[in-house]
Structure 1
Amino acid sequence: MEGLRRLGWGIRRHRLISLCIVLLSMIVLSGLFAPQLAPNDPNFVDLIHKLEGPSTQFPLGTDQLGRCLFSRLLYGTRISLSLALLIVTSCLAVGLVIGSAAGYIGGKIDSLIMRICDAILAIPSLILAISLIAVWGAGWKQMAIALIIVQSVYYARFIRGMVRNIKQQNYVTAARIAGTSPLRMMTRHIIPNLLPPLFIVVTLEIGWVIMDISALSFIGLGVQSPTPEWGAMINDGKSLLRSHPRLMIVPGLMIFCMVALLNLLGEFLGERKGFTKSIRKMAKEARGS
């Protein structure tokens, strides 16, 4: 409770972070309640009203098919954030199992797992994801699986490094001498100490995953049109960049704002907990750079 009070006081003291949390909450809530907030059907084609400017009926205007840009943006928020959370949560679960096993057991198992991770990390993540999607076919499911495979390796290496550090702490050594079983050691002493820095890493990584999803959807390998998603919306408007730039600018600004806000929040939490330098160092090592 004392830690939560200190964190709350720090947030109130930093107006920028308070504003960041408010804006993030607004974006998340707008996606969550998109069906209630959207003034129009996001996929309804109305060529009579195509490429109209902002109005009462269409707050941000319409696209080349007469679809409400504001409604598509709200539903795009819902889809982009849902996919990002699904991918990050899955990566965290896979990375936690693999990384904890490698870091705690060590020896040949650790070496084997790390060599496999090194081989995967040797290929740029987005290129590897594109290659996997090219084999499986385009679609949001294939994109999600490809990104989970690619990103889980990073989480595994990162968690493995943290587990190796925690294993060297005196309280872990004392628990081992006392005869604590490996399973109890993980659940009582190691995993609880992984959670605070992992929460910060996840906050930072969600932004990067959103960018990956948008990039893959933009080139036609992720979410497919007419499903509203930020990257797909930018792709839909690229042919009209000169005459109607708002079709690309509006979803592009949403991506920029979401990534910037998540990075600000992650940096703030890292500084409050004193994790910033250590997380950056371990993240760099996990990336193999």
Structure 2
Amino acid sequence: MRGWDQLRKDRMAVLSIWILALVALAGLFAPMLAPHDPADTNVLDKYAKSSLTYPLGTDHLGRCVLSRLLFGIRTTMLAAVFTMCITMLIGTILGLMAGLFRGKVDGVLMRLCDVILSFPAEVMILAVVGIMGPGLVNIILANVLAKWAWYTRMIRSSVLQYTNEPSVQFVKVSGGSSFYILRKHLLPRISGEIAVFATLDAGWVILNISALSFLGLGVSAPTPEWGMMLNEAKNVMVTHPGHMLAPGMAILFVVMALNFLGDSLQQTMNPAMHPISKKGGRRFAFYRRKKTVRT
């Protein structure tokens, strides 16, 4: 409860939560909020300006930009959430196995992680999508393959840190099983760190999904997706620059909200890392200068 009270005092965190909640609700109720079917085309109304019929205008095929933007929330954010859930599940299970059992299990998993982490994530994602072909499912698999090793190593380091604490060592000496230590001591402690990792990395996943769709390696038409909308708008960037504004700003605000929320969660877990001022503002202190005493 103390952590939640501290989080509520952070105005940037509250604003980020509201932005993400509103975006999620807009995507959930997109069929009721969208004025038109996102796939309906009307060439006679292409590049129509903003009006009551088309609040954000229409694209090169006469499709409602607002409708495609709302339905694009489902594609982009749902894919990001699904990707993070799979990645965190694999990373948590393997990280717990490596940290608890040590020995050969730890050695094999860490060497495998070293192999995966030796490749830049973006290069691996492009290689996997290039081999498997474009598509939303392939994008999700590529992101999972590129990131699970990083999460495995991070969870393993947290498990090693907590298993060396006196309370956990006492339970182990008293005859507590590995499952009991995992359920009562390790999972409650690393759950907060998992939430921080997932929140901070969700914005990275959204950028990857949108970037691949922008390059033509992601979601295929006519499925509405923010990166695909940017890809279609780049062809008329000079004559109709406003068409890139809606999906671009949507990606910007969602990624910023996720990053600020992740930073606030990390701040709540480790207050000494980024102290909060008395007024509830953020100081972004990356280090604290030590006072020297003159004699």
TM > 0.5: yes
Q: Secondary structure at the match of 1:232?
A: helix
User: Could you tell me how far apart the structure 1 residues matched to 2:97 and 2:136 are?
Assistant: 30
> 179, 183, 204: which one pairs with 2:179?
183
User: Could you tell me how far apart the structure 2 residues matched to 1:22 and 1:60 are?
Assistant: 23
Kindly indicate whether the alpha-carbon contact (under 8 Å) linking 2:37 and 2:67 is maintained by their aligned counterparts in 1.
yes
Cα distance change, pair 252–83 in 1 and its aligned pair in 2 (3 A): same
Cα distance change, pair 112–10 in 1 and its aligned pair in 2 (3 A): closer
User: Could you tell me how far apart the structure 2 residues matched to 1:30 and 1:107 are?
Assistant: 49
| Offset of residue 276 of structure 1 | 7.9
Kindly indicate whether the alpha-carbon contact (under 8 Å) linking 2:6 and 2:268 is maintained by their aligned counterparts in 1.
no
Give the residue type in structure 1 aligned to 2:268: R
1:146-194 deviation line (CA, Å, top 9, x unaligned): 1111111111111111111111111110110111111222122111111
Give the residue type in structure 2 aligned to 1:157: R
The equivalent residue for 1:58 is: 54
| Offset of residue 114 of structure 1 | 1.0
> 106, 116, 119: which one pairs with 2:115?
119
Give the residue type in structure 2 aligned to 1:118: D
Give the residue type in structure 1 aligned to 2:4: L
> 208, 233, 253: which one pairs with 1:212?
208
The equivalent residue for 1:284 is: none
- Are residue 150 (structure 1) and residue 146 (structure 2) matched? yes
The equivalent residue for 2:29 is: 33
User: Could you tell me how far apart the structure 2 residues matched to 1:150 and 1:277 are?
Assistant: 28
- Are residue 239 (structure 1) and residue 235 (structure 2) matched? yes
- Are residue 255 (structure 1) and residue 278 (structure 2) matched? no
- Are residue 97 (structure 1) and residue 71 (structure 2) matched? no
User: Could you tell me how far apart the structure 1 residues matched to 2:168 and 2:6 are?
Assistant: 32
User: Could you tell me how far apart the structure 1 residues matched to 2:14 and 2:220 are?
Assistant: 36
Give the residue type in structure 1 aligned to 2:5: G
4+ long deviations beyond 4 Å: 275-278
The equivalent residue for 2:41 is: 45
User: Could you tell me how far apart the structure 1 residues matched to 2:192 and 2:49 are?
Assistant: 46
| Offset of residue 9 of structure 1 | 5.7
The equivalent residue for 2:164 is: 168
1:73-131 deviation line (CA, Å, top 9, x unaligned): 00111111100000000001100111111111112221221111111111111111111
Kindly indicate whether the alpha-carbon contact (under 8 Å) linking 1:90 and 1:148 is maintained by their aligned counterparts in 2.
yes
Give the residue type in structure 2 aligned to 1:187: R
1:30-84 deviation line (CA, Å, top 9, x unaligned): 1111111101000111101100111101110000000000000001111111000
Cα distance change, pair 196–125 in 1 and its aligned pair in 2 (3 A): same
Structure 1 gaps, min length 5: 279-289
> 4, 8, 29: which one pairs with 1:7?
4
Equivalences, count: 274
Q: Secondary structure at the match of 1:7?
A: helix
Kindly indicate whether the alpha-carbon contact (under 8 Å) linking 1:197 and 1:275 is maintained by their aligned counterparts in 2.
no
Structure with more of its chain in helix, by fraction: 1
Q: Given the two structures, how large is their TM-score scaled by the length of structure 1?
A: 0.91
User: Could you tell me how far apart the structure 1 residues matched to 2:185 and 2:93 are?
Assistant: 16
1:224-272 deviation line (CA, Å, top 9, x unaligned): 1211111111011111010111222211111111111111111112112
User: Could you tell me how far apart the structure 1 residues matched to 2:178 and 2:240 are?
Assistant: 61
Cα distance change, pair 92–240 in 1 and its aligned pair in 2 (3 A): same
Larger Rg: 2
User: Could you tell me how far apart the structure 2 residues matched to 1:275 and 1:148 are?
Assistant: 31
User: Could you tell me how far apart the structure 2 residues matched to 1:257 and 1:215 are?
Assistant: 16
Give the residue type in structure 1 aligned to 2:48: E
- Are residue 202 (structure 1) and residue 198 (structure 2) matched? yes
